[in-house]
Amino acid sequence: MTIADLGEKCKGAFRSVPRDLLIFGVIILASSASFGLGFLAGRDAGQGSDALRTVSLAASSTGAIVASKGGTKYYLPWCPGVDRIADANKVWFATPTDAAKAGYAPATNCKGL
């Protein structure tokens, strides 16, 4: 069997399949491929979390832990929620251990803590 014969056989097979079914198949394949690529991209993006954790620990060891006077959680300076703490209400700690000793718990929405 030659490549030309194989090509003709494939064309014959596609001619016998209804056009709507072929379009449906292409849509399913395209959506599956895009989902798979998005999943892989998201998984690869998550690999940077170790680097973020390293930076976070380095920042926290230099005195970059912040909490609110009236709050119960402590944060790294770039975490969500820190910008809502007024400067007058910010309490700074050298380490997460110091913040915990003062009665604060790590914020759950702050990666790296």
Tens-digit pLDDT profile for residues 42-66:
776 655 444 444 444 444 444 579 9
Domain co-membership, 65 together with 39: no
- Per-residue 3-state assignment (H helix, E strand, C coil) for 55-92: HHHHHHHCCCEEEECCCCEEECCCCCCHHHCCHHHEEE
Domain co-membership, 36 together with 19: yes
Q: Report which DSSP code applies to 102.
A: T
Encode pLDDT of 34-44 as tens digits.
988 888 887 76
Domain co-membership, 56 together with 69: yes
Count: domains in the chain: 2
Q: Which strand ranges, in their side-by-side order, compose the sheet holding 90-93? A: 90-93, 65-68, 73-75, 105-106
Taken in order 90, 93, 94, 99, the sign of the CA dihedral is negative
Instruction: Number of helices (H) and strands (E) in the chain: give both, helices first.
Output: 4, 4
Domain co-membership, 71 together with 93: yes
